[in-house]
Amino acid sequence: MGAIQEPTPAMGPYHVEIRGEGFYLNRADASGDVVTQVSRYEVTVPVADAPLLHAAFDQVTGHPQWQRWPRPAQGEQPDTTWTLPPDKQGPPADTHWTVTVDGDRLSIRGPWVVYHEVHRNLLGTELAYADMTELRKALSAATRGRDQQ
């Protein structure tokens, strides 16, 4: 069980639930014409969502739990075996983030499992705190210099 945070206006349709070593990131209003689940580990959202995602990440890093999560030991390699499907078929998620822009779409692929409930217009995933810094850098690099308004 986590602590559901009150979304800020800057987060738009995103909201977070703080947990022990990570957080849930959810997007309401995630109809199929707005969000696409490309694979178990990849999603596309409007490129205009980049500042909304940064605002959601700001809420996470501003929470006291952010300072308390156990840091990995120096040189410890990422483990994404937890992302394997229940039947253990297929590869686990990538250990690093790939964020690309294609026109007005932002593709995000990395160490997470994405759930897109089209019938409820809900997109959800769980992110480890350990992955936040790299994801923020990849998101910033992919959208740097773009007019996201």
Nearest to 79 by CA among 38, 126, 125, 131: 131
pLDDT tens-digit series, residues 123-141: 999 999 989 999 999 999 9
Give the per-residue pLDDT at 92.
93
Amino acid identity for residue 130 in this structure = A
Average pLDDT over residues 13-31: 94
Q: Average model confidence (pLDDT) for the chain?
A: 92
Spatial contact of 14 and 26, defined as CB atoms under 8 Å apart:
yes
Spatial contact of 110 and 94, defined as CB atoms under 8 Å apart:
yes
pLDDT band at 62; cut points 50, 70, 90: very high
Residue 78 has pLDDT above 50, yes or no: yes
pTM of this prediction?
0.92
Spatial contact of 113 and 126, defined as CB atoms under 8 Å apart:
yes
pLDDT band at 66; cut points 50, 70, 90: confident
Residue 148 has pLDDT above 50, yes or no: no
- Percent residues over pLDDT 70 in the chain: 97
Residue 98 has pLDDT above 50, yes or no: yes
Average pLDDT over residues 98-117: 96
